[in-house]
Structure 1
Amino acid sequence: MSKLTEQDIEKKLLHLPEWEYYDDAIHAEFEFENFKDCFSAMSRIAFECEALNHHPSWSNEYNVLTISLSTHDAGGVTNKDFQLAKAIEYIVEPEE
């Protein structure tokens, strides 16, 4: 998978307003009601990561989940990162 250009990344980010691009990765931060809800979302995301064989750099502090996505083999952001970001968005903020 090849690294996307900065222009391609910015264009794709228009569809993911929670995400920002810097330091050769896309980043997002999600706040939940409490730790349990945050950890529950992380568990659901983990299954998606395994299915895609693509794993984020992430952390949580109480009710805040911070995620960074980059494809290390490509040296930057690829379509695989956007595929996972969309899956994360669906898990974290499902359509009503």
Structure 2
Amino acid sequence: MAWRKRGPEETYTGEEIEARLKEELPHWYYEKGWIRRKYKTAGWKGTLMVVNTVGHLAEAAFHHPDLTVSYAFVIVKLVTHSAKGITAKDFELAKKIEEVVMWRPDEDSALEGTPEDARFKYIKYDA
């Protein structure tokens, strides 16, 4: 579905948010006025890597999520406070976070990716 272009402070309705998440960000969900995503990690090292990645992207975008950080997971929550709702800013940053955190090399890449060995796993990728 093509979404109508909106200004950076124009909010989406709950129904529009649910539809966009289903179509564009299936691992994200809408709850209590925020779009959210829980990234499961293999432990503290992976958690810090996710937090630092999200922090870099948020600062570069100058749009800052709330984070819940625990030993083996990170929850990212986005809302545009100034608009008091979910805006295009939230969707754009969520997409970038998802793209970078969940990135892995393609099969034909010269990069081999993280070995399957549990000693090297740091994030639990979605199937």
Normalised by the length of structure 1, the TM-score is: 0.92
Q: CA deviation at 1:75?
A: 0.4
Q: CA deviation at 1:48?
A: 0.7
**1:55 and 2:82 equivalent?**
no
More helix by share: 1
* Unpaired runs of at least 5, structure 2: 1-8, 107-127
Equivalent position amino acid for 1:68 in 2: K
Equivalent position amino acid for 2:99 in 1: Y
Equivalent position amino acid for 2:86 in 1: V
Q: CA RMSD in A?
A: 1.2
* Unpaired runs of at least 5, structure 1: none
Q: Could you list the runs of 4 or more consecutive aligned residues of structure 1 that deviate by over 3 angstroms after TM superposition?
A: none
**1:70 and 2:79 equivalent?**
yes
Within the candidate set 2, 6, 9, 2:10 is matched to 2
Q: Which has the larger radius of gyration?
A: 2
Contact 1:41 1:91 (C-alpha < 8 Å) held by counterparts: no
Equivalent position amino acid for 2:53 in 1: R
Contact 2:47 2:70 (C-alpha < 8 Å) held by counterparts: no
Equivalent position amino acid for 2:91 in 1: F
**1:26 and 2:29 equivalent?**
no
Contact 1:31 1:65 (C-alpha < 8 Å) held by counterparts: yes
- State the Cα deviation string for residues 12-66 of structure 1 (Å, max 9, x = none): 1012111111211111111011211111121111111011110011111101001
What is the aligned residue count? Answer: 96
Contact 1:19 1:28 (C-alpha < 8 Å) held by counterparts: yes
More strand by share: 1
Give the Cα–Cα distance (whole angstroms) in 2 for the partners of residues 71 and 57 of structure 1. Answer: 11
Give the Cα–Cα distance (whole angstroms) in 1 for the partners of residues 58 and 103 of structure 2. Answer: 17
